[in-house]
A = this chain, B = another copy of it.
């Protein structure tokens, strides 16, 4: 039996909707792309105002980059609900692809549009009002509320680690909602209890001091060949990664995790098929194998290649350098720094000491146990809101800085399928329906967490 009344939470949300959208409008109006060096003071001032009005105590932590804002509603309870959000956004370009100005909240056909409307200002506002509405609906959630809001998520959360290492106590909670959580009627929610890690490399090879005429091929070192040969040793066509020791630290999935996969609805795979308009996935993967690879396997992807002449037609040139971007998704207990060592050793062993390696990103994998009470709580509330059994996924195939929180707090992300969000693209959007339910869903989680 839920400790909340879904209907009353939705009704309060409806009553406060103008205020909710006004708050979101103010957040969206402030450009906050970290890469573009937007002035971040206005968003921090605006957020602090919204928090303080609602009785939160706000602390702003300077870092080497964007400040981290921590807002506490300390109610002297034993339990704490934590929200991880970010106030920075992706760049708005290409500007002329937007149908309404990116930094104005717009509504068309029951959808909200604007940069950050989903990623991640909309959910931040939904969290803020979710808690407020829970109180207004007459519930007094029996937990403390804390927000940790960073400003570099879209830039790799470069300085978040610095903050997390310095303030582990601020990350302790009984459950952290990571970026967003939502459930709507008649649609199955996906509850993600983890993310993969990521080690993103650039591989560079150099030839002679200048581009050469390809007639000189018999005497000139061709860095494109060096790179292709080196890359071809990393993985075979069965998708087996051939780096010695690469799989050593991989923790195999537990029996109960594997059992989950068998029950994932075919419809979920069809959504991917629709997305990529393909008959056949890589190596014909379907069913349990599809999920097993997506959820539990580390990967090695060439994300970029560049060398020599890339324009139309023919240019008989041997470029003086070549470059590849290679991305490894990692699973527990793999670590980016170790992958760097193994990759370096692999290249050296195979005669590619000339290949220069740069590690750009190192996210660790992170998972909350699927039987953790917080995951179960999310799943139950999601089932209540949607009327559908949620899909419990031990790990998202993507990566993020959740590992910095993970050792201190169970966390999860709860997602619904919407092919039209345009995440990271022009005309970023969210259904108004989703915004409404997100707000109520958050309220329900707070109430429910306080009760258990």
Chain B residues, CB < 8 A from A216:
272, 294, 397
CA distance A300 to B398 in the complex (A): 39
Give Cα A213 to B196, complex, Å.
13
Report B-chain residues with C-beta under 8 Å of the C-beta of A315: 303-304, 325
Given the known interface contacts A219-B282, A219-B293, the answer about A314 and B156 at a Cβ–Cβ threshold of 8 Å is yes
In the bound complex, CA of A314 to CA of B222 (Å): 25
Is B272 a contact partner of A219 (Cβ separation < 8 A)?
yes
Known: A219-B282, A281-B220, A314-B360. A302 touches B297 (CB 8 A): no
Sort A-B residue pairs by CB-CB distance and give the 6 closest, nearest first. A232-B232, A218-B293, A215-B397, A224-B302, A215-B398, A305-B307
B278 touches A209 (CB 8 A): yes
Q: Annotate A294-314 by CB proximity to B: 1 below 8 A, 0 otherwise.
A: 100101111111111110011
Question: Inside 8 A of A303's CB, which chain B residues have their CB?
Answer: 214, 224, 308-309, 314-319
Q: Are A219 and B309 in contact (CB under 8 A)?
A: no
**In the bound complex, CA of A285 to CA of B213 (Å):** 17
Shortest Cβ gap from A229 to chain B (Å): 6
Chain B residues positioned under 8 Å from A137 (CB to CB): none
Chain A residues proximal to chain B, CB less than 8 Å: 156, 196, 198, 200, 202, 208-210, 212-222, 224-225, 227-229, 231-232, 235, 237, 239, 272, 276-278, 281-282, 285, 290, 293-294, 297, 299-310, 313-319, 322-323, 325, 327, 329, 351, 360-361, 396-399
Name the B residues within 8 Å of A294 (CB-CB): 216, 218-219
Q: A219-B285, A303-B316, A314-B327 are in contact. List 8 more A-B contacts (CB 8 A).
A: A200-B316, A209-B278, A215-B397, A219-B272, A225-B302, A229-B232, A303-B314, A304-B310
Asked if A214 meets B299 with Cβ closer than 8 Å, knowing A209-B277, A361-B314, the reply is yes
Give A294's nearest chain B residue, CB to CB.
B218
Q: Check A225 against B235 for contact (C-beta < 8 Å).
A: yes
Question: Are A200 and B314 in contact, with the CB atoms below 8 A?
Answer: yes
CB A393 to nearest CB in B, in angstroms, measures: 12
Q: How many Å from the CB of A430 to the closest CB on chain B?
A: 19
B398 and A213 contact, CB distance less than 8 A:
yes
Given contacts A222-B301, A302-B224, A310-B306, A214 and B327 within 8 Å (CB-CB): yes
**B residues near A272, Cβ cutoff 8 Å:** 216, 219
The residue from B215, B217, B282, B305 contacting A224, defined by CB atoms under 8 A apart: B305
**Cα–Cα distance between A219 and B269 once the two chains are bound (Å):** 10
Find out whether the CB atom of B305 lies under 8 angstroms from the CB atom of A310: yes
Q: A424: shortest Cβ distance to chain B, in Å?
A: 9
**Chain B residues within an 8 Å CB radius of A218:** 239, 282, 285, 290, 293-294, 297, 299, 397
